Amino acid sequence: MNVREHAIQCIKDEAQAVLDLIPQMDENFDRAVELIMNCHGKIIVTGVGKSGHIGAKIAATLASTGTPSFFINPLDVFHGDLGVMAKGDVVIAISNSGQTDELLRFIPMVLHMQIPIIAMSGNPQSLLAKYATCHLNVSVAKEACPLNLAPTSSTTATLVMGDALAVALMEERNFQPQDFAQFHPGGELGKRLLTTAQDVMLTEHLPILSAEMHLGDAIILVSKGKLGLGVAIKDGKIEGLITDGDIRRAMEKWQAEFFNRTVADIMTRTPKTVGPQTKISEIQATMNQNKIHNVLVVDDENQLLGIVDRYACVL
């Protein structure tokens, strides 16, 4: 086998290990979800070595999807970190063998505090499984490592079980994109879901027209506005909107008579408008659905506050 074939076999082995988790899932998984859903405190994930690295990722995924959680190394518990735990918390303890000494020495303290334990291990007969409130079986037939020694398939299976737990909890909580954005305000999704029209709208040098204005004069104002549109306003309220496309079509239709026509002859009398607090994600959806490049931002009295251009929605 060449190097690529070894890599492909590794992927196949790990993929199969993940699929083999499905028949191993039972009422213990349901119980784990129930424990977390009823938890009034924090979810504390713990593990040693590679299991610890996987545990840290599981804790991060849970925390970012609506389940307050963090990772703690069981070795640190013996040096003062036990104080972070309290009755009402839930512990997720991870060990492939279920016999990790450092983790097992930590378990009696958790039980003494009457904190339920969700165990993840590859050994349902282990001491960890025995003392856990429920046990999630993540056993694998073999490691993807050619020596069947290095944690490969086992760590992948554990990681996937953690993701399955997080996804099930998201469904139970009806976790929505807006909720996700609150936990990821610095990301692209967070910006789109939290940023409003008011934050990005253009408010200066807007191309304001009147419905009675001749199209020859309107072209000049539309061109100066550099937005490809003009807004007809009367008594502070929006009467309509014209675009570059409207102007071109009018030229083709009326030709020499074009300059005698007015804005009222070609304007859209019900342009798309949004309020200042409308989320950018909603504005993008409106633009895409209606195949437009701008929306008008108005107040409760239909007075123009600003214009949001498609490029302003690219955060």
User: For residue 105, is pLDDT > 90?
Assistant: no
Percent of the chain with pLDDT over 70: 90
The pLDDT of residue 107: 85
Query: Is residue 86 predicted with pLDDT exceeding 90?
Result: no
pTM flag (> 0.75): no
Residue 39 — left, alpha, or beta (φ > 0 → left; ψ -120 to 50 → alpha)?
Answer: beta
- pLDDT for position 182: 57
Question: pLDDT at position 106, please?
Answer: 82
pLDDT of residue 97: 94
pLDDT at 172 over 80: yes
Residue 188 binned pLDDT confidence (cut-offs 50, 70, 90):
low
**DSSP track, the chain:** --HHHHHHHHHHHHHHHHHTTGGG--HHHHHHHHHHHT-SS-EEEEESTHHHHHHHHHHHHHHHTT--EEEE-HHHHTTTGGGG--TT-EEEEE-SSS--HHHHTTHHHHHHTT--EEEEES-TTSHHHHHSSEEEE---SS-SSTTS-SSSHHHHHHHHHHHHHHHHHHHHHT--HHHHHHH-TTSHHHHHHH-BHHHH-B-SS--EE-TTSBHHHHHHHHHHHTSSEEEEEETTEEEEEEEHHHHHHHHHHHGGGGGG-BHHHH-BSS--EE-TT-BHHHHHHHHHHHT-SEEEEE-TT-BEEEEEEGGGG--
Residue with tokens 């429920």: 134
* Residue 77: pLDDT over 90: no
Domains in the chain, please, with CATH? 3-175 (3.40.50.10490), 197-313 (3.10.580.10)
Q: How confident is the model at residue 71 (pLDDT cuts 50, 70, 90)?
A: very high
* Rounded CA separation 221/204 (Å): 14
Q: Place 178 in a pLDDT band, splitting at 50, 70 and 90.
A: low
292-to-220, 242, 263, 296, 309 alpha-carbon distances in Å:
22, 12, 19, 11, 10
Residue 159's φ and ψ, nearest 5 degrees, are -60, -45
Q: Give the pLDDT score at 314.
A: 59
Confidence band, pLDDT 50/70/90 cuts, at residue 19: very high
Pick the more confident residue, 149 or 157.
157
pLDDT reading at 183 higher than 80: no
In tens, the pLDDT along 200-210 reads 899 988 999 99
Average pLDDT of the chain, as a whole number: 88
Rounded mean pLDDT, 33-53: 93
- 215, pLDDT greater than 70: yes
- Please tell me the least confidently modeled range out of 22-36, 71-85, 221-235: 71-85
The residue written with tokens 């993940």 in the block is: 18
* 236 — pLDDT class (breaks 50, 70, 90): confident
Q: Give the residue-averaged pLDDT of 78-95.
A: 80
| Lowest mean pLDDT, pick from 2-6, 12-16, 164-168, 308-312 | 308-312
